[in-house]
Structure 1
């Protein structure tokens, strides 16, 4: 069983997820930004042009960070991509086709 817990104030929590079809190469992104009271601050859901599920995860994280940054400088990120978490924690930028996205995420999170 998975339980969601609100962050402590002054934090906001960003949850993102994507869906990607390897047969059609179609992807969709979605996410929620919630406050310390658990209340919804912002949500998004849309198709995304991505060549892989990993790239879609990066794009969803960027969109979610943009929204979360409107509410707080303290952002708790939750996502289900272990590969993305590993890359973020490694300090590396990843493969060449992902480096622009990773550099943007690093820039956004270094300010927080």
Structure 2
């Protein structure tokens, strides 16, 4: 019985080693040429009933075009994520962008936006998002895992803890520069493969 147990206990370990070898690293993916991608994220601090949002716009080769970060009041992490999408849409409208992909790591929010679902807790924000999106000729919403949303995540996190200010675009902290360089390099590799 001990031998049988030991063999069974080892099988998952062998399988997990094989699984780890086939797992691909997730990173930011550029939009198609002629499009802009706006990655959004929020950092929610329940104690403060708020947090911060980030909206980061990049082109198809990973160049940072513009960005926004702000402190917010919100009732939940999902409401904070919705405020981040709304912030990105307002910027896109103000810059009159016509081909924009909005990407978030909040799967529930992206599904709600695509299906036009009702979420009573922050329906006013969802309605505002959909209204703003109608004013952009080509606009879409996509989901990315947290690893594919690293820059927006870091901007929101740093803003929430007070270490990133409004002028960060002209004087980027090292962590932001590092993420930008890494993701731009990856986007160039992906472009060259195409």
TM-score, normalised by the number of residues in structure 2: 0.53
User: Given the alignment, which residue of 60, 65, 80 partners 1:56?
Assistant: 80
Greater strand content: 1
Specify the alignment match of 1:77 in structure 2.
Answer: 102
SS in 2 for 1:23: helix
Give the Cα separation in 2 of the matches to 1:54 and 1:6. 25
RMSD in angstroms over aligned alpha carbons? 1.6
Matched, 1:93 2:102: no
**1:84: how far off?**
0.2
Give the Cα separation in 2 of the matches to 1:5 and 1:12. 11
Give the Cα separation in 1 of the matches to 2:58 and 2:83. 19
**Unmatched tracts of structure 2, length 5 or more:** 1-24, 138-194
What number of residue pairs does the alignment pair up? 111
Matched, 1:42 2:66: yes
**Unmatched tracts of structure 1, length 5 or more:** none
Give the Cα separation in 2 of the matches to 1:107 and 1:93. 14
Greater helix content: 2
**1:108: how far off?**
1.7
| TM superposition outliers: structure 1 runs of 4+ over 4 Å | none
Give the Cα separation in 1 of the matches to 2:60 and 2:34. 7
User: Can you list the C-alpha shifts for 1:21-50, whole angstroms capped at 9, x where unaligned?
Assistant: 223323111120112232111111221111
Q: Tell me which structure has the larger Cα radius of gyration.
A: 2
